[in-house]
Amino acid sequence: MRLPHRDPIRLGPTPYEVFQEKEGIPSVKGFFIEDLMDVEVKPWERMGALGSYLNLGEQQETDAYICELPPGSQTKAQRHLFETLVYMHKGRGATTVWFEESAKQTFEWSAGAIFAIPLNVSYQHFNASNEPVRFLAGTNAPHVINLFHNDDFIFRNPFQFRDRFRPEREFFQENKRLTVRSWESNLVPDVNAFALDDYPMKGKGVRIMRFGLAGTTYGCHIQEFPAGSRSLFHRHGPGAIVTVTQGEGFAMVWREGEKRTRFEIKPGSIYSPGDLMYHGHFNTGPTTLRHFAMRGRSPKYSQDRYRTKLHEMIPLDEEPPEIHPAYLEELKRKGIKGEVQLVEE
Ligand SMILES: [Fe+2]
């Protein structure tokens, strides 16, 4: 027997919602943003820059924000007990991280860079150019703030995680393969240049690399789909934040028994499938389609081994039968050879 549906429990705002209200910047909700350059950003006192939250996918495990630094400006120094992954979308600059003022480390980046802020280090971003810098960050602030619900503990905590950041070492030069499809690093200079490993279980031609960045448990990966190819559909829990970094195509999502939605995607598009929402990625352009996804746990701290049956992938011949022929037809119209056939020769 199935248990009856239970309405959500309403006890007023969560600690994360109370925190966000004080932040004084907009919050974009929903599942899709066509172009992160179009997100309206407002003065953000805590960060000392312009910003907007992205609260996508109807969940409070992860959030994201868009931050813009006007030319020649820098963010305010700060630290906190939630993890932050950064994808630099536009501009050029540097970030400084430290435990003690006397032992600061600075690394430079330009558009396409991915890195993490080591947990609870003080940090500051600098725009070194004459153009605005705009970046996307993913954090686990909702989870951490709802768990501890105490700003002093989260934002003014003196604990130094020396296992994650060693000021005496050139921390941001660490870079090594963990195993197939897994890499440990602190800074990926260019999301579109990093060589990926084959990942055929996700679809023909699909390639991926999962990253552990700066010792964070918050996971991320780069995935690509060659011209004429697509992923299979799968679903899992909510909280993934996917941003397209190269190419064009569409993403398709739906929940069991509900209507399918298609999002047109290009560099700067962001989407976040909701809880148990099937999702697939389709390349309809002449070049490789690549995305950067912030999701789940990093390779070393992954709990994927405990995946339930709810984390499932749909084989090509079991998905709704009209999807793949329509995709092949669309490729044909654009003069692109479809690389994925229902029946392999
Ligand atoms: Fe997924």
Q: How far is the CA of 122 from the centre of ligand 1 (A)?
A: 32
* 34 and 152 belong to one structural domain: yes
pLDDT for the residue 166: 86
Q: How far is the CA of 32 from the centre of ligand 1 (A)?
A: 14
* 105 and 209 belong to one structural domain: no
Q: How far is the CA of 235 from the centre of ligand 1 (A)?
A: 6
- How confident is the model over 100-138, as pLDDT tens digits? 999 999 999 999 999 999 999 999 999 989 999 999 999
* 326 and 290 belong to one structural domain: yes
Secondary structure (3-state) at 150: coil
Q: How far is the CA of 198 from the centre of ligand 1 (A)?
A: 17
Last residue of one domain, picked from the residues 121, 144, 167: 167
Domain presence at residue 253: yes
CB 297 within 8 A of CB 304: yes
Q: How far is the CA of 104 from the centre of ligand 1 (A)?
A: 37
Confidence bin at 304 (pLDDT 50/70/90): low
Q: How far is the CA of 279 from the centre of ligand 1 (A)?
A: 7
Q: How far is the CA of 163 from the centre of ligand 1 (A)?
A: 30
| CA dihedral sign, ordered 136, 270, 8, 12 | positive
* 303 and 205 belong to one structural domain: yes
Q: Is the pLDDT of residue 86 over 90?
A: yes
Confidence bin at 345 (pLDDT 50/70/90): very low
Q: Is the pLDDT of residue 307 over 60?
A: no
Domain presence at residue 157: yes
Whole-model pTM: value is 0.94
Q: How far is the CA of 314 from the centre of ligand 1 (A)?
A: 12
Mean pLDDT of 263-268: 98
Last residue of one domain, picked from the residues 136, 167, 198: 167
Q: How far is the CA of 277 from the centre of ligand 1 (A)?
A: 9
Q: How far is the CA of 219 from the centre of ligand 1 (A)?
A: 12
Burial of 193 (0-12, 13-18, 19+ CB in 10 A): exposed
Q: How far is the CA of 94 from the centre of ligand 1 (A)?
A: 31
Side-chain-side CA neighbours of residue 196 (13 Å): 24
How would DSSP label each residue in 92-105? EEEEEEESSGGG-E
* 202 and 134 belong to one structural domain: no
Better-scored residue on pLDDT, 232 or 308: 232
* 208 and 254 belong to one structural domain: yes
Q: How far is the CA of 35 from the centre of ligand 1 (A)?
A: 20
* 290 and 313 belong to one structural domain: yes
Domain presence at residue 9: no
The domain of 118 spans 15-167
Inter-axis angle of helices 141-148 and 15-23, nearest 10: 120
Q: How far is the CA of 221 from the centre of ligand 1 (A)?
A: 11
* 191 and 303 belong to one structural domain: yes
* 160 and 187 belong to one structural domain: no
Confidence bin at 308 (pLDDT 50/70/90): low
Domain presence at residue 343: no
Q: How far is the CA of 281 from the centre of ligand 1 (A)?
A: 9
Q: How far is the CA of 299 from the centre of ligand 1 (A)?
A: 15
Domain presence at residue 72: yes
* 62 and 76 belong to one structural domain: yes
Domain presence at residue 339: no
Q: How far apart are CA 129 and CA 73, in angstroms?
A: 9
Q: How far is the CA of 47 from the centre of ligand 1 (A)?
A: 30
Distance from the Cα of residue 88 to its chain's centroid: 12
* 190 and 316 belong to one structural domain: yes
Q: What is the overall mean pLDDT for the chain?
A: 93
- How confident is the model over 166-211, as pLDDT tens digits? 887 776 777 899 999 999 999 999 999 999 999 988 888 999 999 9
Domain presence at residue 19: yes
Instruction: Give the chain's end-to-end CA distance (angstroms, integer).
Output: 44
Q: Tell me, what CATH number does 319's domain have?
A: 2.60.120.10
Last residue of one domain, picked from the residues 146, 167, 188: 167
Q: How far is the CA of 298 from the centre of ligand 1 (A)?
A: 14
Q: How far is the CA of 149 from the centre of ligand 1 (A)?
A: 29
Domain presence at residue 344: no
Domains in the chain: how many in total? Answer: 2
Q: How far is the CA of 273 from the centre of ligand 1 (A)?
A: 8
pLDDT for the residue 313: 87
Q: How far is the CA of 255 from the centre of ligand 1 (A)?
A: 13
pLDDT for the residue 237: 86
Q: How far is the CA of 151 from the centre of ligand 1 (A)?
A: 32
* 249 and 329 belong to one structural domain: yes
Q: How far is the CA of 241 from the centre of ligand 1 (A)?
A: 9
pLDDT for the residue 306: 55
